[in-house]
Amino acid sequence: MAELTAEKKKMVQESWGLVRSDMRSNAADFFLFFFKRHPTYQKLFNDFKDVKYEELDGNQKFRGHAVRVFFAITSLVDNLDDLDIVVDILQKTVKDHIPRGIKAKHYEDLMGSILAFLEKALGDKFTAAWKNSWETVAAVILSVVHAEIEADLTPAARENVQNSWGLVRKDMRKHAMGFFLFACVVVLFSYNGKIRSVMSK
């Protein structure tokens, strides 16, 4: 991985400063751009998965989510000189999104789209040096994301094991119930026999 030098950090912060100056509309524009590149991803957002693409821009939940993501990116960009904080923010983000089915591929596509969006939005201002700096930052971010997803596999694997045990247990219960019903039938037949034998006495 290319080194994340102080110069590169500064260039990323400088370029993000331009996005930040109009955060709300840039955030919404980015998500429209993102969903155009990856149309199936809108379905991952319960709050606005069924909103028509053309109506997304006016949707409060969509705008809110877009702004939250852009603030999360700001918190990463602002803390590039203290990578412990960057790692902590990313770990928390990955953990929170695992139950929502968000995987490494989604983060990769998100980062790829952010670079493409910056290139599109900033035009000529987005120099080769800026692009290169963003590529390095994206690689750092994704390496933390991958590590965290792998680390989280352990409890997930444990949960899977527990779930499969749950099925086995459920099955045992079902079989026990079946056996119980069978036993009831046997008892009824036995009583029936007894009753008949009593009646015939």
Query: Cβ of residue 88: shortest distance to a second copy, in angstroms?
Result: 3
Cα 121 to Cα 23: distance, rounded to the nearest angstrom:
13
Query: Cβ of residue 82: shortest distance to a second copy, in angstroms?
Result: 6
Contact 41, 53 (CB under 8 A): no
Contact 35, 53 (CB under 8 A): yes
The tokens for 79 are: 């803390």
Half-sphere exposure of 194 (CA within 13 A, CB side): 6
Query: Cβ of residue 194: shortest distance to a second copy, in angstroms?
Result: 7
The only residue of 51, 87, 116, 122 in contact with a second copy, by rule CB under 8 A = 87
Site map (CB under 8 A) of a second copy, residues 172-191, x = contact = -x--xx-xx--xx-xx--xx
Residues forming contacts to a second copy in the complex (CB under 8 A) are 23-24, 60-61, 63-65, 67-68, 71-72, 74-75, 78-79, 82, 84-85, 87-89, 92, 96, 173, 176-177, 179-180, 183-184, 186-187, 190-191, 193-194
